[in-house]
Structure 1
Amino acid sequence: MRQTLLSRGYLRLLLLSALLGVPVALACFFFVALQQELQDWVWQSLPEALGHTRPPWWWPLPALLLAGLVLAPVLTRMPGRGGHLPVHGLGGPPVGPVELPGVVLAALLTLPLGVVLGPEAPLMAVGSGLALLAVRLREGPPDPRADAVVATTGSTAAISTILGGPLTAAVMVVEAAGVGGARLVALLLPCLTASATGALVFTGFGHWTGLSVGALTLPSSLPRAGPDAGDFLWGLPLAALIAVLISLARGLGRRTAAWTATRTAWRVITCAAAVGVCIAAYALVTGRSPAEAALSGQATLAELAGDPHAWPVAALVALVAFKGLAWGISLGSLRGGPVFPSVLLGASAALACSGLPGLGTTPALALGIAAAATSVTGLPLTSSVLAVLLLGRAAHDQMPLIVLASVVAVVVTRALSRDGGDDRSS
């Protein structure tokens, strides 16, 4: 072990990882900043220019139809087919430099138009693509094992920029790798190094430019509340219910993926239009903005956590129903990440039940995030850490509930899976 860590080749790998974190973070910053600017233009500036104070109920119909029309040629004509289907997991296989333009184009053309997916999978593709490009530019014979580590390092550095920082990304590597001992340490150190340097550059550019990057964050003013018997009495069955809802949506995604495997172009356009119908239906039923049900959900999650009492229970139920249906269709046909929307769905379902006797809003938010993230990733430890970091100071008293909700969610998800096998998404 000591010989491996102090070897010249491994030290060069650590140096490469530190250097690699800088361009990966810069690429991720400009990617998410551009996506956020386009999103704001589609859902705020353009409706206001047309005389609407907010997007009208029908706004998602042409927006999502356009998303399907621009995505179809990317999927059928460009290398890499725009990236992997999100129903198959978070990261997918490493994306090489040849496939990377299609992944970036698919994300930037469709995510701002209201596709119910997040930016995390395209960001991981950007990280692995840039890492593999750096490897191919180096001199010397190819080393498949080193290339695999570098690709993982690039993906980890990329996802750490918007998913809670280096700690969440490192825990994800540990949990998803399924290895231990010297192999785990050898994989973890480059990932930590690249994530730390990348997060530093990403945060610095955010402060310097003042641009919004759409990271998954919650208000820092969440009320602290110690969990009591009522929180566990209602919370654990609620975590199981959230796991069932997420599993049903993923099942819809698998069926949609099978349907779009042939006649891909027209069927993807049809699926995108169906997503638009779901979002428009939410706006019609609730009288609220369709933007709440569209997009990845991190902005809506922040609004929901900041003032949960401003949301009627009926609106939360409608959000879970219509956004969940749109998310399931998107999982099997469109391109993006599965985690962000699932977190909003879990939080919405839990907060809809927060009026039950003995269940508080902060415990409901904590268990909803943890259960949903666990259900979609299959990584209970990573999901618990993500929930703790998102809740900040309010998470200290919620840790037992967060951990138990993650355990319940992973057990229920595995029980509902068709083959009962490993369902980890990273």
Structure 2
Amino acid sequence: MTAGIRAAGLTPQARALAPLIVPALLVGAGSSLLLLALSWVSERLQDVLWERLPDVFGVSGTSAGWILGMLTVVGLAVGLVVWKVPGHAGPDPATTGLVDPPLPLRLLPGIALAVVVGLAGGVSLGPENPITAINIALAYALGMKAMPRTPAAAWVGLAAAGTVGALFGTPVAAALILSELSMGDDPRPLWDRLFGPLVAAGAGALTTVLIAHPTFRIDVADYTGPHWGDLLSAVVISTGAAAVGLAAVYAFPLCHTAFRSLGHPVLMLTVGGLVLGALGALGGHLTLFKGLEEMKELTGEAAAHGAGNLLLLALVKLAALVVAGSCGFRGGRIFPAVFVGVALGLLAHALVDGVPPALAITCAVLGILLATTRQGWLSLFTAGVVVMDMDLFPLLCVAALPAWLLVTGRPEMQIEESGHGTP
């Protein structure tokens, strides 16, 4: 293979990148298949818990009593996994980010079991953090055995990119996220550093799209702008949503401390499940689960929701995200945060009907993600793909600036090992 590469007349830089293609394709496709497998299992279990079991007992799966009871039981179940399964389902999820160093393989079964039960049980978290951690650990362990001379960071980058590409159905999201991560002292041009990860992201995205056809896009009226008044609306909505997100960020370490004071994972997660059940009973079935399908349902029946109910949905979902993320459930925060942004955007449109719903939703999603993820490119990209209208991007780029001024330098929604929010 090396001789063939040399014969092709490639530059030394290109010859260094070409051997990454096959490993990147394998890691990307494998990352997607593991995500799809985990999602499939959780969806089958979700059907049992929320459709078949209620039918057996002759009750509604959307009733307040079932929601309260089910989430309490799910909290107990995940607590038992964290307590008894070897490895305790990995580190405290409140202390981890989307892309972290590889975990030992012995932790992966517990993480997978905890996230499947949580996703199926209606916990307001997404799959992104745990499945990324699983894929990074597997890619690192297998890659270092197959190609020990390859830097460990390369396997982390390939797995992270492949998983993010699979999650969003496009390699662009992975490139944007990786461009915000520290590259250490690597002097190579950005696209040299992103070459392998983009191959992995493309393979992961194509595998997911061809098998599952996922989409973030929601059905709202087309945007007819831009207009001068839309600029003010965009800035106000994005900054307001960022302020709401910051309230959750500041509440996160307080909530984490309160749950840790209970002292035992079973007790913490059972109480957390009980609180989530109460929130779910208050907000209804739309505030359960990761929020991807629920936000599409919400926008599809937006006319049936008044401003008061939209505010309730946004606040309940945001509170559920804080509780789920701080009491020990395994999961990511991007998907539920997007639901909060959609609800806040619909709220802005309901309060001022002159604000186009597409503009209001994208700006609210942008603001809430800037506050909760502190990743500018990811927030801008996700806000854009929710509606998919290129006319909105100039406004989003401007609206991101005051929102970023509000959130930058403030605590992040992540806990240091010492128990304090990151500076």
Aligned to 2:103, what secondary structure does the other structure show? coil
Deviates more, 1:172-181 or 1:118-127: 172-181
Q: Residue in 2 aligned with 1:16?
A: 23
TM-score norm. by structure 1 comes to: 0.85
- The one-letter amino acid of 2:337's match is S
User: Aligned match of 2:339 in 341, 344, 351?
Assistant: 344
Runs of 4+ in 1 over 4 A off after TM superposition: 178-181
Q: Supply the distance in 2 between the matched residues of 1:264 and 1:92 (Cα, whole angstroms).
A: 25
Q: Which residue of 2 aligns with 1:165?
A: 170
Matched residue type, 2:121: L
One-letter code aligned to 1:110? G
User: Which stretch shows the higher mean deviation, 335-344 or 232-241?
Assistant: 232-241
Amino acid at match of 1:244: A
Matched residue of 1:89: which SS?
coil
**Contact 2:286–2:298 (CA under 8 A) maintained in structure 1:** no
Residues 1:123 and 2:118 aligned together:
no
Where 2:217 maps in the other structure, the secondary structure is coil
Q: 1:92 aligns with which of 96, 100, 106?
A: 100
Amino acid in the other structure paired with 2:178 = V
Other-structure match for 1:175: 180
The residue number in structure 2 matching 1:65 is 72
Tell me, in whole angstroms, the C-alpha distance in 2 between the residues paired with 1:129 and 1:338. Answer: 20
Which residue of the partner structure matches residue 210 of structure 1?
none
Structure 1 pair 157/83, CA: closer, same or farther in 2 (3 Å)?
A: farther
How far residue 41 of structure 1 moved from its aligned partner, in angstroms, is 3.1
AA aligned to 1:270 is: V
* 1:121 partner letter: N
Q: Tell me the SS of whatever aligns to 2:180.
A: helix
Out of 371, 375, 384, which is 1:375 matched to? 371
Q: Does 1:366 align with 2:362?
A: yes
Tell me how far apart the structure 2 counterparts of residues 152 and 347 of structure 1 sit (CA, whole Å). 31
Q: 1:188-207 counterparts in 2 under 5 A?
A: 188-206=194-212
1:387 Cα deviation from its structure 2 partner:
2.0
Q: Which runs of 5+ in 2 are unaligned?
A: 1-9, 414-421
Question: In structure 1, the residue corresponding to 2:65 is in which secondary structure?
Answer: coil
TM-score (norm 2): 0.86
Q: Partner of 1:332: helix, strand, or coil?
A: helix
2:294 corresponds in structure 1 to 300
Give the aligned partner of residue 156 of structure 2: 151
Asked if 1:235 is matched to 2:238, the reply is no
Does the aligned pair in 2 maintain the 1:26–1:202 contact within 8 Å? yes
Quickly say closer, same or farther: Cα 1:129–1:416, change in 2 above 3 A: closer
Distance in 1, matches of 2:95 and 2:182, equals 20
Residues 57 and 132 from structure 1, CA distance in 2 versus in 1: closer, same or farther, beyond 3 angstroms? same
Given that 1:90 and 1:338 are in contact with CA atoms closer than 8 Å, whether structure 2 keeps it comes out as no
**Is contact 2:171–2:202 with CA below 8 Å preserved after alignment?**
yes
Q: CA deviation at 1:399?
A: 0.9
Match of 1:276 in 2: 277
**Number of equivalenced pairs:** 400
2:318 is the alignment partner of 1:324? yes
The answer for the alignment partner of 1:286 in structure 2 is none
Aligned to 2:45: 38
User: In the alignment, is residue 335 of structure 1 matched against residue 336 of structure 2?
Assistant: no
**How far is 1:231 from its partner?**
2.7
Verify the 8 A CA contact 1:225 1:363 in the aligned structure 2. Answer: no
Alpha-carbon RMSD across the aligned residues, in angstroms, is 2.7
Inter-partner Cα distance in structure 1 for 2:59 and 2:223: 38
Task: Indicate the percent of aligned positions where both proteins have the same amino acid.
Answer: 22
Query: Does structure 2 retain, via aligned residues, the 8 Å contact 1:89–1:377?
Result: no
Do the aligned partners of 1:278 and 1:326 also contact (CA within 8 Å) in 2?
yes
Aligned pairs for 1:222-261 within 5 A: 222-261=221-260
Partner of 2:191: 185
| Structure 1 unaligned blocks of 5 or more | 208-214, 283-289, 420-424
Tell me by how many angstroms 1:271 deviates: 1.8
Alpha-carbon separation, structure 1, partners of 2:26 and 2:53: 40
Question: What is the one-letter code of the residue matched to 1:364?
Answer: A
Contact map agreement 1:118 1:296 (CA 8 A) in 2: yes
* Inter-partner Cα distance in structure 2 for 1:410 and 1:216: 26
Checking the alignment, whether the CA contact within 8 Å between 2:164 and 2:173 is kept in structure 1 is no
